[in-house]
A = this chain, B = another copy of it.
């Protein structure tokens, strides 16, 4: 049975997405693949039966976690591991719980890195470009708050763009 690529993400409010996009449109070649997001679970493969089971799991997980607030105060970078610059989401127990539950039990794949909640605003740039951009953004401070009440399951098309497959509302 053929498998698709799936991923799980949170889309913050329009306000936060607009801020992220003001950087992404210049600094992120993946800009047009997906709106600004917080990844809860990186790309994984599943066939129809497997994704049906995962949907049930996600239904359960969403009912176990109440809506919560996130805060963004600054920009950070994954350098030297990758040249990814991101809006740092302040440590958050609900985000950690959600992501942890999506890496247990029936879920495929183990984590490559520990979970760092973030919204990417720049990636795949040269070392010099990365230094420039991170250097100038590192000094900026932000005061973004957002109420998170849902997450979404997405699948990937051949052209690498992502389509939302299902929305899961928290605390229902």
Contacts from A to B (Cβ < 8 Å): 4, 11, 14, 17-18, 21, 25, 31-32, 35, 150, 152, 155, 157-159, 161-167, 169
16 residue pairs bridging A and B, Cβ less than 8 Å apart: A11-B163, A14-B155, A14-B157, A14-B163, A18-B157, A21-B157, A21-B158, A21-B159, A31-B32, A32-B32, A35-B161, A35-B162, A152-B167, A164-B164, A166-B169, A167-B167
Q: Which residue of B lies closest to A19 (CB)?
A: B158
Leading 6 A-B pairs by shortest Cβ distance? A32-B32, A164-B164, A167-B167, A35-B163, A18-B158, A166-B167
CA separation between A117 and B71, bound complex, in Å? 41
Q: Tell whether, in the assembled complex, residue A157 and residue B4 are in contact, meaning their CB atoms are under 8 Å apart.
A: no
Q: Which residue of B lies closest to A11 (CB)?
A: B163
Shortest Cβ distance from residue A171 to the other chain B in the assembled complex, whole angstroms: 15
Copies in the complex: 2
Q: Tell whether, in the assembled complex, residue B32 and residue A157 are in contact, meaning their CB atoms are under 8 Å apart.
A: no
Q: Tell whether, in the assembled complex, residue B167 and residue A164 are in contact, meaning their CB atoms are under 8 Å apart.
A: yes
Q: Which residue of B lies closest to A165 (CB)?
A: B167
Shortest Cβ distance from residue A132 to the other chain B in the assembled complex, whole angstroms: 23
Shortest Cβ distance from residue A7 to the other chain B in the assembled complex, whole angstroms: 13
B contact residues around A32 at 8 Å (CB): 31-32, 161
CA separation between A166 and B167, bound complex, in Å? 6
CA separation between A28 and B18, bound complex, in Å? 23
CA separation between A4 and B13, bound complex, in Å? 11
